[in-house]
Amino acid sequence: MSAATILEEEQKHALHSREFGFWIYLMTDAVIFALLFASYAVLAENSAAGPTSNDLFDLSRTAIETGLLLVSSLTFGMASIALMHDQKGRVVQWLFVTLLLGLAFLAMEMGEFGGMIEKGAGPEVSGFLSAFFTLVGTHGLHVAFGSLGIVVMIGQVLVKGLTAPVRSRLMRLGLFWHFLDIVWIGIFSAVYLPGVL
Amino acid sequence: MLGRLTVEALPFYSWVAMGGAAVTVGGGIAVFLLITWLRAWKVLWTDWLTSVDHKKIGIMYVVLALVMLVRGFVDALMMRAQQAFSLNSEGYLPPEHFEQIFSSHGTIMIFFVAMPFLTGLINIIVPQQIGARDVAFPFLNSVSLWMTAAGAALVLISLVVGKFSQAGWTGYPPYSGVEYSPGVGVDYWLWALITSGVGSTLSGINFIVTIVKNRCPGMTFMRMPMFTWTTLCISILIAFSFPALTVVAGQLTLDRTLGFHFFTNGDGGNMMMFANLLWIWGHPEVYILILPAFGIFSEVVATFSRKRLFGYTSLVYATACIALLSFTVWLHHFFTMGSSANVNAIFGIATMIIAVPTGVKIFDWLFTMYKGRIEFHPSMVYTIGFMVTFVIGGVTGVLLALPPADYLMHNSTFLVAHFHNMLIPGALFGYFAGLNYWFPKAFGFKLDTKWGIRSFWCWIIGFYLAFMPLYVLGFKGMSRRMEHYADPTWQPYLIVAAIGALFVLCGIACIAIQLYVSARKWGSARDITGDPWNGRTLEWATSSPPAPYNFAVLPEVTDIDAFHDMKILGQAYQPPQHYEDIVMPKNTWIGPALGALAFALGFAFVWYIWWLVALCFVLSLVCVGIRASDDNSEFVLPAAEVARIERERLAQISPADMHDMHDYVPRGAASGAPLTGTV
């Protein structure tokens, strides 16, 4: 075998390992979120005479956030389909749309956080708010990292083209992005919905 | 500019603190000068620090562990000395200093001795045991090492700049909260935990993927050596449990730094949640430390009894059971904190159940030894010492698992004696056995056995003298972590315990002498065949030290004890038909750079130097980005070069060096699994 083919073989194996490893990484991240959810469940009623979830949560705002994030998962899916068909331009376009949706979500979330802090409902007010800001903020931080990843991957697709490593990275970034969607559904169901009921 | 860092942070306030700082700084300067004097900076950087070779990373892990062992042991010696003299007096350590010492002792021994020691041994051996050329993610491996080293550096520098935590190694709030511990100590503790915890999580992921994806042809799960099995189990435990440590440390950091209320006394915090989250990590952690040692004992006991491991399948299932059960018992660390009787009962019973698979293991090792031709190599002696001593610790553990009994002994020195009885024979003796057993594999020459045996006797005598009195003192009502006391009947026991610590000091000295003596007579104890003990598993099929690629041709496996069979069938040391090109990972500076940035980031967080936090964060992202875009991180080692290295090795091995396998050829139906092929 020539050096080039053996490198290619090895690379295929390495990329498979990375995809498997990424699943395990996602699992460790899922444990982090699970414990942050548990912390929230323990502290949700501890508003310490400060504002409660009924005073603070606004379902219509959350609905828009949820819409943005769910649609961004769809558009990332479109990018993955374009990747299957080797349509480089389409991949970049859909990634860009996903990035915009992600940034819009982040902007809305920051607006929400900012509004709460302005109202005197910052994380240092009560156990409830500490747990809320940490759980939702950790999710937001992940979305920010994911957005950074999309920027890097748009660059890689444009510069390197749809090579095997780039495809693998896009696939892993997609896993990460959809994972964040699932976590958000958890946040919507366990934080916002019970909060206004 | 420098946050809350001022000249006040330097330890000019106490002679003891200044002494500690002087030793730390002096040690650093001495190492720096030694490397400069040897003109070794370039070699150190290109061959070691930037290396992604799993064997070199493993060696660096073990070196880190041994250095930190000395530091952690000095803490232990100081505590024993204090308690031996502090009857109705202050002793020589003021309370705030004593508190720092027991906090750093626990933190160092768990995070920076046991974890790097076992990770190092796993790194050196597991890829070879599964017939692989490398771990799945060599670069990630380097990042893990340097994250762990960064955590250790944070603990070390806390001795020089500022103070360490006074809240114990478990750091329970509210005492560890900012209200009662306003200094930087707890922050040092937290950032050391977070940094090294991230490193451990990455190691866990790496070894799960390595073992699942990189096994050689024919090595099914039920043919993996026991050490590999225990590694797989603890890697899964790491991946599941270390995120809990990250979460709980992160939450306490938010409480302390940004005024959150996770664990505060008022404002809706819940400090019980800290105990739960910490021990959801902490109890699996106990098994993360002990199971690899069990794996080492299994390898050692089979090799030096000259028998196939008894009950391999039951050992595998027992290991998996322990791993699973380790997640169901965390509450036994705080029975006294007021859960209902039923909750306590469930966790008490679960705890007692864990003793069952552990007992299975002890019997498997005993039956392996039964009618074996036992050779008293230091690693085997450590194993036997472990079996005897560990059973005592297991029994006291079952006693503590009874909630009513725990109410009497909780937080007493009985507990201290119990967990040291688990971790010193259970974990540390295992690592020492591994050190003696695998040292020739890593370095190409054997360790001196005489000093190895001496170190064992010092350690085990020291252990019994130091901890059996603590069991008694626990029954007599002595609490743990006492800076001074007023009961004169305690003092004789504490003096004996201090003498025990001196024996352990001799044990550590013996290990140092053993390393020195062995290095001196390098040539005479060379391991030419790569198989000094007539070993059974695949790591002995490589040369000592192994070539960078471990195996020129990947082995094929048909049974457990693959290399033992190869030797009997005469397949060992045979050149292959032809050699192939081998893909190798390139060294990279990004691993050490990320470690350095993690250290600076932690330091900046401790002292509130926010611009440095931001800078380190951005630079870390840049490093990751550079690496993530690099598709040229491997190179090809040509077949001709592989052939040259292998021929050179095989030419050195004469038939006289090989082990005589005639005694091991199976005869008759009762001799275990029949071997295929001609004999």
CA distance linking residue B141 with residue B573, whole number of Å: 30
Query: Which one of A26, A28, A156 makes the best mutation probe of the B interface by having the most chain B beta carbons within 10 Å?
Result: A28
CB B679 within 8 A of CB B566: no
**Helices marked H in B306-340:** 312-325
Minimum Cα–Cα distance from A4: chain B residue: B636
pLDDT of residue A6: 78
Sign of CA dihedral B90, B96, B102, B104: negative
- The domains of chain A are located at 3-196
Return the pLDDT at B678.
Answer: 42
Q: Considering its fold, how many domains does chain B have in total?
A: 1
Residue-wise pLDDT for B256-313, tens only, equals 999 999 999 989 999 999 999 999 999 999 999 999 999 999 999 999 999 999 999 9
A48 near B CB under 8 A: yes
B589 falls within a domain:
no
| Residue B656: per-residue pLDDT | 87
Reported as type and span, the H/E element at residue A191 is none
Q: Which of B425, B481, B424, B434 is nearest to B292 (CA)?
A: B434
Give pTM, 2 decimals.
Answer: 0.95
Residue type, B532: P
- Residue B260 has φ and ψ, to the nearest 5°, of -70, 175
Give me the residues paired with residue B584 across strands. Answer: B635
- Give yes or no for residue B669 having a pLDDT over 80: no
Q: What is the DSSP string of B460-490?
A: HHHHHHHHHHHHHHHHTTPBSS-S-B--GGG
Whether A12 and chain B come into contact, CB under 8 Å, resolves to: no
Q: pLDDT (tens digit, 9 = 90+) per residue, B319-351?
A: 999 999 999 999 999 999 888 999 999 999 999
| Residue A28 contacts B where some CB pair is shorter than 8 Å | yes
Q: How far apart are CA B284 and CA B330, in angstroms?
A: 8
Counting one residue from chain A and one from chain B, the pairs whose CB atoms sit within 8 A come to 129
Query: What SS3 state is found at B526?
Result: strand
In whole angstroms, what is the distance from residue A19 CA to residue A36 CA? 26
Whether B677 has a pLDDT exceeding 50, the answer reads no
Chain A residue nearest residue B207, CA to CA: A21
Identity at B578, one-letter amino acid code: H
Q: Would you give per-residue pLDDT tens digits along chain A (197 residues)?
A: 567 787 788 888 889 999 999 999 999 999 999 999 999 999 999 999 999 998 999 899 999 999 999 999 999 999 999 999 999 999 999 999 999 999 999 999 999 999 999 999 999 999 999 999 999 999 999 999 999 999 999 999 999 999 999 999 999 999 999 999 999 999 999 999 998 87
Distance CA(B15)–CA(B11), nearest Å, equals 8
Picking from B255, B267, B276 by the largest number of A CB atoms within 10 A of its own CB, the best residue to mutate is: B267
Instruction: Please give the ipTM for the structure prediction.
Output: 0.95
Alpha-carbon Rg for chain A, nearest whole angstrom, is: 20
| Tens of pLDDT, residues B370-403 | 999 999 999 999 999 999 999 999 999 999 999 9
Per CATH, the homologous superfamily of domain A3-196 is: Cytochrome c oxidase, subunit III, four-helix bundle (1.20.120.80)
B277 to A127: CB separation less than 8 angstroms, yes or no: no
Peptide bond into B545 cis (omega under 30): yes
CB B545 within 8 A of CB B443: yes
d(CA A15, CA B588) in angstroms, rounded, equals: 19
Average pLDDT, chain B: 94
A156 touches chain B (CB under 8 A): yes
Is residue B244 in a domain?
Answer: yes
Could you tell me if residue B26 is inside a domain?
no
Asked whether the beta carbons of B107 and B155 are under 8 A apart, the reply is yes
| Per-residue pLDDT at B672 | 53
Are the CB atoms for A98 and A79 separated by under 8 Å? yes
Instruction: Name the one residue in this structure whose structure tokens are 């696939």.
Output: A171
Domain that holds residue B475: 40-580
Amino acid identity, position A136: V
B397 and B422 Cβ atoms separated by less than 8 Å: yes
Look at residue B103 and tell me if it is in a domain: yes
- Chain A residues with beta carbon closer than 8 angstroms to that of B581: 1, 3, 6
The CATH number given to whatever domain includes residue B529 is 1.20.210.10
Q: If pLDDT is split at 50, 70 and 90, which confidence band does B16 have?
A: confident
Task: Report if residue B646 sits inside a domain.
Answer: no
CA proximity to B268, closest of A117, A42, A53: A42
